[in-house]
Structure formats: C-alpha cells, structure tokens
Amino acid sequence: MLIGIAGRNDQIAGTEYPFTGLIRGIKALGHDICISLPSKDSTFDDCDAVFTWNLASIPAWREMMAVIDRPVFIMERGWFDRDEYTQIDPSGFNHSASWAHEVTGPAPVGGAERYRMLAERLSPRKRVESRPDGYALILGQTGIDEQLKQSEIHHADALCDAVKASLPAGLDCAFRGHPLSKWRPKDMQTIDGTLNDALKYSRFVITINSNAGNDALWAGVPVLCLGPALYEIAGAARRTTIATLLHDMEFMCRGWEPDEKRVMSYFHWLSSRQWNREELQKGDCLKQLLGDADG
C-alpha cells in the first residue's frame, strides 16, 4: 500500500506530534509513504489512505478532504496522556468519531484491561467530596474549537450569559477559562488555578462539549453539557439546552449523578481508541485501522 502523510514540516520532523512514530510504524508494516503539505493540490491521488493531524479549522485542510476519495485518518491528542497518546479515526474525534454511535454498547474486547494500564498515568480516580454549597463550574473552550460548530451556542461568553440568566436561587457559578484562551467574563468569579483545584469546590460542571469534561468525570464531578459530546452520548453526562437550562441546573442541584457503570464503560472506550508513540512505531494498531478501513 501507498500511505499518504499530510502535515507541515515542523509537525513531521518535530517531537511535539506523533508523525515520527507513525511513519516508522507504516514502514514496519511494509508500506510505502508519500509526504505532502495538506492542501487541495496535494499529490495523494495514488495513495490508498492518508494520515493527517486534526486541521479542520484550516481552509486548505478542508479543501484537501473534499478532493480525496480514499480513507483519511484524522489524528488528535488522546486524553489519558495528551502528549504521549494519540486518537486516530477515519471520521474524526470525540462525538464525530466513527465509533461514537457504538459507545452506549459494550466496550471493545480488552478495553477494561487497557483502561487499567492507561489509568496508571493519572492520579487515582475517586469521587471528590460532595459540596452542596459549591458552585456550578463553567468550563470555557477556545473560540477555534471545531467541536463548537455543532452546538446551539459557540462561545464561552454565550454560555456564561445563559447560565447567569437561568441560575437557580442559592446556586453560585464560577468560570474557568481554557488555558489557551485569554477571554474571561467581567462580572463572574473566575478561577485561573489548576482544573483539579477548581473541581474540588464545584457542585457540578457546565460545559458545551469541552474535553475537560473528561477530567471532571475522572474526579467524580457530574457534568451538564449542551453537547454534542461523546460523554453525553455514552450516558456519562446529562444533556441540556438553552431552553431547559434552569430546569436542568435545578435537577443537578438535587444531586443527579451518572450511572458509574456507564462512566467506566465510557473510559474503557476511550482507552481502546488511543495509542502511544511506541505502539504507533510497532504498527499493530495501524494494521488494524487500515484493515478496518479496507473492509
């Protein structure tokens, strides 16, 4: 097979992205490689599949996708260890992944075992002490987050305004911005420490579909989200809308929590859909991905 690699030179040659391990893994499987920048003029016509980093917000990437009629594997940082692990999928990541519709069912064979291995990279999972006097923690996202496009609201400021307008009596709220975003609300308590510190004093989390929702679930903090979000599809979080936000926040205040079995199954799914650099270099996971796409 001829495998295309679409990426910038600094991505492919550097250590920040997993391209080096990916290329070695493809070669270990005996395949040839064609490397090009992601653009509508990329020379991938003869390739059997293409691997690229998540560049959905870049016009050239979208133009490239529009003209390629073969599997394009989209890579994005994993969750258990974002620097070491990589998600790879032919449809996307999080709620746009090809397996998102399966996440309510049993996790793949070996998912529980793989979860135990990956969980060792994190602090032990335990429920933070319930705080009936805690605040509703609003999680911000970057304005260029591709996931926001499918939600009914698209920015952290709109989420903050909606929460303030519907806040149940007796409930305080606080905002934690995304580390890569400088925007902060002017008339709301903001928390700029670690996410774990913010979660310790929260009653529940409100988000659109932030990846930080996974951290909240890991800490045992219930999540209310506008979605679409993979953890909501899995039943590990509660879905809300702008129209029902007051009712749903009141429901959360009464102590709603997800079924722990659903949360654990969700983490097993996440564990089964991301691989570290060493695994990419060996190539076995790539063989499975390419075989699934070919089938």
Spell out the per-residue pLDDT of the chain, length 295, in tens: 999 998 888 888 888 999 999 999 999 999 999 988 776 666 788 899 999 888 765 677 777 777 778 888 999 999 999 889 999 999 888 898 999 999 999 999 999 999 999 998 888 776 666 677 899 999 998 877 777 778 889 888 899 999 999 999 999 999 998 888 888 898 899 998 889 889 988 999 999 999 999 999 999 999 999 989 999 999 999 999 999 999 999 999 999 999 999 999 999 999 999 999 999 999 999 999 998 766 5
Q: Is residue 105 part of a domain?
A: no
Under a CB-based contact definition with an 8 Å cutoff, are residues 148 and 94 in contact?
Answer: no
Reading the block at residue 250, the tokens are 């009141």
Write the CATH number for 68: 3.40.50
Q: Is residue 109 part of a domain?
A: no
| Burial class (CB within 10 angstroms; exposed 0-12, middle 13-18, buried 19+) of 144 | exposed
| Burial class (CB within 10 angstroms; exposed 0-12, middle 13-18, buried 19+) of 285 | middle
Enclosing domain of residue 247: 135-270
Per DSSP, 168 falls in state P
Reading the block at residue 22, the tokens are 């990916």
Residues 142 and 258 in one domain: yes
Per DSSP, 52 falls in state E
Residues 248 and 289 in one domain: no
Under a CB-based contact definition with an 8 Å cutoff, are residues 217 and 238 in contact?
Answer: no
Per-residue pLDDT, 127: 64
Under a CB-based contact definition with an 8 Å cutoff, are residues 73 and 90 in contact?
Answer: yes
For 92-149, give the DSSP string.
Answer: -SGGGSTTGGGTTSPPPTTHHHHHHHHHTTSPPP-PPPP-TTPEEEEEP--TT-GGGG
Residues 281 and 224 in one domain: no
Residue 205's SS3 state is strand
DSSP bridge pairs for 207: 225
Scan for tokens 């079995």, then name that residue. Answer: 261
Of 121, 102, 123, give the one whose Cα is nearest residue 276. Answer: 121
Per-residue pLDDT, 147: 78
Q: What gap in Å lies between CA 63 and CA 50, rounded to an integer?
A: 14
Per-residue pLDDT, 154: 86
Reading the block at residue 68, the tokens are 């390629």
Q: Is residue 208 part of a domain?
A: yes
Residues 8 and 86 in one domain: yes
Per-residue pLDDT, 156: 86
Write the CATH number for 255: 3.40.50.2000
Which strands make up the sheet holding 2-6, listed edge to edge? 32-36, 2-6, 49-53, 72-77, 85-89, 274-276
Phi, psi (5° rounding) for residue 185? Answer: -70, 145
Under a CB-based contact definition with an 8 Å cutoff, are residues 149 and 96 in contact?
Answer: no
The total of structural domains in the chain comes to 2
Q: Is residue 212 part of a domain?
A: yes
Q: In degrees to the nearest 10, what's the CA dihedral of 147, 152, 155, 157?
A: -150
Per-residue pLDDT, 40: 66
Residues 247 and 266 in one domain: yes
Residue type, 111: G
Handedness of CA 179, 85, 28, 3 (dihedral sign): negative
Residues 189 and 77 in one domain: no
Reading the block at residue 53, the tokens are 């980093």
Per DSSP, 235 falls in state T
Secondary structure element (H or E) that encloses residue 264, with its range: helix 260-272
Per-residue pLDDT, 113: 95
